[in-house]
Amino acid sequence: MRCLVTGVAGFIGSHLAERLIELGHEVLGVDRFADYYARDIKEGNLDRLRGEPRFSLATVDLATADLRRLLSDREVIFHQAAQAGVRPSWGLSFEGYLHDNVLATQRLLEAARTHGQVRKLVYASSSSVYGDTEEVPMHESSRTAPHSPYGVTKLAGEHLCELYRRNFGLPTVSLRYFTVYGPRQRPDMAFHRFISAILRGETVRMHGDGEQTRDFTYVSDAVQANVAAMEGAAVGVFNIGGGSRVSLNDALGMLGEIAGPARVERGEPQAGDVRHTWADTAAAQAALRYVPRVPLREGLAAQVAWQKRMLAPSR
């Protein structure tokens, strides 16, 4: 297939593009190298892809570029690009979230519908669309009530996908990822920060009492869900969880065993953070044959090994 992967220099997009190349597909990657975290890290994410003859890169902003030209011969679109991060989505930076998460998604959908050859558009949605609820596990039919401006924009993107599917027959699939982790995880995410502090001998700063739970999903499982969404006939919205729902305290205990003991300082919970996430993945299992494969301990060990390499002086 001729694929377009947006957000290709990011955490999940770079892994997805590598897997697609491995499977024999051709990938045009798009990224605007947003400065939310260091460009060097994103360039590093692309290291393995750069030498691939079936990979090419367009450094453009989806919210302003001529997308029809970009899409001209693309059969499958994986839309991973977004301004991620719950906590910074308040205040003035919301404009950036609208630009990257809503406007960019609408422009991509519009270009895809008028272009005619797109067999599937897979959208990276988020568990943040559910908000702060005690109703767990979360089903695709559960109420959506985002608890952060970020979640509002991710839900808006998902609604746009559904609109283009219902009105114009564009085959869209929205995958609601639940906290993805593994090598290349964004530096603002909890595991990345925890591991980095442990390896540097610094204090781990945790927001809240640590009893909040997350359904952690290893990155290769999220990637596999995308591949299945491309290959199968299913359309619509699916939860993609990792089957490893644990509290942050338990995850930190596991990290202590893998990377070394942690000195923890607990602070106030942050605005926008939810108490629990837990995915019901029955729909994804039935429609996409999605089964998470990587248990938390194994996934954490892989992330720790990667962060150790990142910190090594020879790098």
Part of the chain binding ligand NAD (CB under 6 A), chosen from 3-11, 110-118, 291-299, 303-311: 3-11
Cis-peptide, bond into residue 137, ω within 30° of zero:
yes
Nearer to ligand NAD, 63 or 304 (CB): 63
What x/- string results for residues 20 through 39 when contact with ligand NAD is judged by CB under 6 A? ----------xxxxx-x---
Nearer to ligand NAD, 56 or 203 (CB): 56
106 binds ligand NAD (CB under 6 A): no
Contact 149, 92 (CB under 8 A): no
How many whole angstroms from its chain centre is CA 180?
Answer: 6
Q: Which of 3, 4, 7, 138 binds ligand NAD (CB under 6 A)?
A: 7
Residues 60-89 that bind ligand NAD (CB under 6 A): 61-63, 80-84
Q: Identify residue 297 by its one-letter amino acid code.
A: R
Q: How far is CA 295 from the centre of its chain?
A: 18
Work out whether 281 is an interface residue with ligand NAD (CB under 6 A).
no
Q: Is 71 helix (H, G, I), strand (E, B) or coil?
A: helix
Active site residue 150: yes
From 97, 123, 130, 150, active-site residue: 150
**Contact criterion met (CB below 8 Å) for 13 and 84:** no
Of 6, 18, 15, 9, nearest in space to 55 by CA: 18
Count of residues in contact with ligand NAD, rule CB under 6 A? 31
SS3 223: helix
Q: Is residue 42 involved in binding ligand NAD (CB under 6 A)?
A: yes
Cis before residue 313, ω within 30 degrees of 0?
no
Binding positions for ligand NAD, 125-144, rule CB under 6 A: 126
Q: Residue 18 or 233: which CB sits closer to ligand NAD?
A: 18
Report the distance separating Cα 23 and Cα 14, nearest Å.
Answer: 14
Tokens of 314: 């020879």
Instruction: List, by residue number, the catalytic residues.
Output: 150
Site of interaction with ligand NAD (CB under 6 A): 6-7, 9-13, 30-34, 36, 42, 61-63, 80-84, 100, 104, 124, 126, 154, 177, 179-180, 186
